[in-house]
């Protein structure tokens, strides 16, 4: 996949966008990314977070790192391995959630004034899904 220079510039902003989550209060994006696994059982949800919070945090950091490294090579054409493409999908999903939460978009992202970035991230995510669908058994 080859990215236009403007796409590299836009996508290179995504890691900073994600790193900013939770850095100010209130941050609706932090709430959107920290959904409760057990919304009706506080004890079970606390146990879930206790057991998996570090793993989720490390996984997100690894995905963001892979994304940042591979985006920079996109102007010259980037060939993503399957794990890198899957990391991109997760990072793009997070970025869409952050964008929607901060712009007060509904879950489907539909509000014209804030829709351009959301639509681009959605298109990129859809393109990756199509590519993976073709190459994975």
Is the per-residue pLDDT at 113 higher than 60?
A: no
pLDDT in tens, 35-53: 788 989 999 999 998 999 8
**Mean pLDDT to the nearest integer, 69-87:** 81
Domain residue limits at 25: 5-135
Q: At a CB cut-off of 8 Å and minimum separation 6, what does 130 contact?
A: none
Domain count, the chain: 1
Query: What integer pLDDT is reported at residue 120 of this predicted model?
Result: 85
51-55, 111-115, 118-122, 132-136: least confidently modelled range: 111-115
Q: Say how far apart CA 79 and CA 103 lie, in whole Å.
A: 32
Q: What is the mean pLDDT of the chain?
A: 85
Q: Which helix (H) or strand (E) holds 80?
A: none
């Amino acid at each position: 996949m080859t990215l236009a220079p403007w796409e590299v510039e836009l996508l290179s902003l995504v890691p900073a966008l994600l790193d900013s989550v939770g850095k100010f209060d209130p941050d609706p994006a932090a709430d959107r990314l920290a959904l409760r696994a057990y919304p009706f059982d506080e004890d079970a949800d606390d146990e879930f977070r206790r057991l998996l919070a570090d793993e989720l945090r490390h996984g997100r950091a690894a995905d963001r790192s892979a994304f940042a490294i591979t985006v920079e090579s996109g102007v010259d054409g980037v060939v993503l391995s399957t794990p890198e493409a899957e990391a991109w999908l997760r990072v793009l999903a997070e970025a869409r959630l952050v964008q929607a939460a901060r712009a007060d978009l509904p879950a489907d992202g539909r509000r014209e004034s804030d829709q351009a970035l959301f639509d681009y991230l959605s298109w990129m995510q859809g393109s990756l899904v199509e590519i993976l669908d073709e190459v994975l058994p």
